[in-house]
Amino acid sequence: MPDPLCIGPCCQERDNNYTSPRMAEPGLAICRWGLARLRRDIQTTPALLDWLAHHIAPTGAAGERVSGSREAPVPVRLDILCMIQEGAVPYRGDDDDQIGPPSIPSTVKTWAWLLCEHRGIAYQARATVAELAGLLARHAEWCATRPWIDDMMADFARLRRCAHGLAPWSVHVQRLGLPCWRCGAQGTLTRTAGESWIECDSSVNGCGCLWSFEEHQALAAAASRRLPVGCPNCGMRSLLRASRIVIGCDRRLDGCGRRWTQSDLTGALAKALTRVQVAAGAAP
Ligand SMILES: [Zn+2]
Ligand SMILES: [Zn+2]
Ligand SMILES: [Zn+2]
């Protein structure tokens, strides 16, 4: 029986350069990249609130007047106000523009309340968005076992997308100038201000994977122990020398997680090479 596939938007949306749904992580309904993305999107909500609050005054609009009106222009951006104030329960639609931006506090509270209900945790109605986001982040893996995880992911991804759309963060996106650990693309690794995640930017042909800053540092530290051949089991360039005799296929790079001794691996690689040669020879 095949393993269940990831049900998250991470594997349903084409903009992540994934050609087909990945395998879900064991016990979860989504893949590891979806879980990382969800954690990132939840953890960033307090920073989104701060950022938007700083951009609530319309830039360049001071002194402009609506013709025929003697009133001063509205001194705040209502779309931003919509996102940072509590509003109606977020409504999901296909088109962000038509239904207005979602409220960050309402979205966070709705999911935190749902989590508390399902897990039997006391819901703190007076908790701040940062506290509730922390609670959700700590329970993200449990949420990823639930059938509604795709809705939760879509809601949090939408908060981040809408906030970046209302007050663009593009100037605060740092490009790391390193090839992606996973796909090898040049100049695609990015870090957005206010976030402790490194993402391979799919909008410039990156693979869309992301790592926590700690994982990123660990990958950088392990770079010299990486083997320059594909894994004979899964085909990813993810082999890592774990010790003098053990070589593993690195799951942080989308590998299959299998481990070999040096001599077993040599045999497996030789077999894989034979398979490739047979396939090439059999081709018309
Ligand atoms: Zn996925
Ligand atoms: Zn990549
Ligand atoms: Zn592998």
pLDDT for position 137: 97
Q: Render pLDDT for 119-159 as a digit per residue (tens, 0 to 9).
A: 999 999 999 999 999 999 999 999 999 999 999 999 999 99
User: For the chain, what percent of residues have pLDDT higher than 90?
Assistant: 56
Q: How far is the CA of 183 from the centre of ligand 3 (A)?
A: 14
Q: How far is the CA of 115 from the centre of ligand 1 (A)?
A: 21
pLDDT for position 64: 46
Phi first, then psi: give them for residue 85, nearest 5 degrees: -100, 155
pLDDT for position 277: 78
31-40, 90-99, 104-113, 160-169: which range is least confident on average? 90-99
**Does the pLDDT at position 75 exceed 90?**
no
List for the chain the helix, strand, coil content (%; round to 5): 45, 10, 45
Q: How far is the CA of 106 from the centre of ligand 1 (A)?
A: 25
Q: How far is the CA of 256 from the centre of ligand 3 (A)?
A: 4
Averaged pLDDT of the chain: 86
Ligand lying nearest the CA atom of residue 237: 3
Q: Render pLDDT for 6-24 as a digit per residue (tens, 0 to 9).
A: 999 988 765 455 567 888 9
Judged on CB neighbours under 10 Å (0-12, 13-18, 19+), 75 is: exposed
Q: How far is the CA of 154 from the centre of ligand 1 (A)?
A: 12
Ligand lying nearest the CA atom of residue 6: 1
Q: How far is the CA of 8 from the centre of ligand 1 (A)?
A: 5
Residues 240, 280: Cα–Cα separation, whole Å: 28
36-45, 97-106, 192-201: which range is least confident on average? 97-106
Confidence label for 70 from pLDDT (cuts 50, 70 and 90): low
Confidence label for 74 from pLDDT (cuts 50, 70 and 90): low
Q: Render pLDDT for 199-226 as a digit per residue (tens, 0 to 9).
A: 999 888 888 899 999 999 999 999 999 9
Q: How far is the CA of 169 from the centre of ligand 3 (A)?
A: 36
Provide DSSP, 92-129: --S-HHHH-PPPHHHHHHHHHHHHHHHHTPPP-TT--H
Ligand lying nearest the CA atom of residue 247: 3
Q: How far is the CA of 248 from the centre of ligand 3 (A)?
A: 8
Q: Which two tokens stand for residue 43?
A: 């953890």
Q: Render pLDDT for 234-246 as a digit per residue (tens, 0 to 9).
A: 988 899 999 989 9
Ligand lying nearest the CA atom of residue 254: 3
pLDDT for position 3: 65
Q: Render pLDDT for 259-275 as a digit per residue (tens, 0 to 9).
A: 999 999 999 989 888 88
Question: What ranges do the domains of the chain cover?
Answer: 9-65+73-168, 171-225, 226-282
Residues 86, 108: Cα–Cα separation, whole Å: 10
Ligand lying nearest the CA atom of residue 238: 3
pLDDT for position 13: 66
Ligand lying nearest the CA atom of residue 37: 1
Q: What is the separation of C-alpha 268 from the centre of its chain, rounded to a whole number of angstroms?
A: 34
Q: Render pLDDT for 88-105 as a digit per residue (tens, 0 to 9).
A: 544 555 555 456 789 999
Ligand lying nearest the CA atom of residue 176: 2
Can you tell me the mean pLDDT for 181-207? Answer: 90
Which positions ≥6 away from 102 have C-beta within 8 Å?
83, 90, 91, 155, 158, 159, 162
Q: How far is the CA of 245 from the centre of ligand 2 (A)?
A: 29
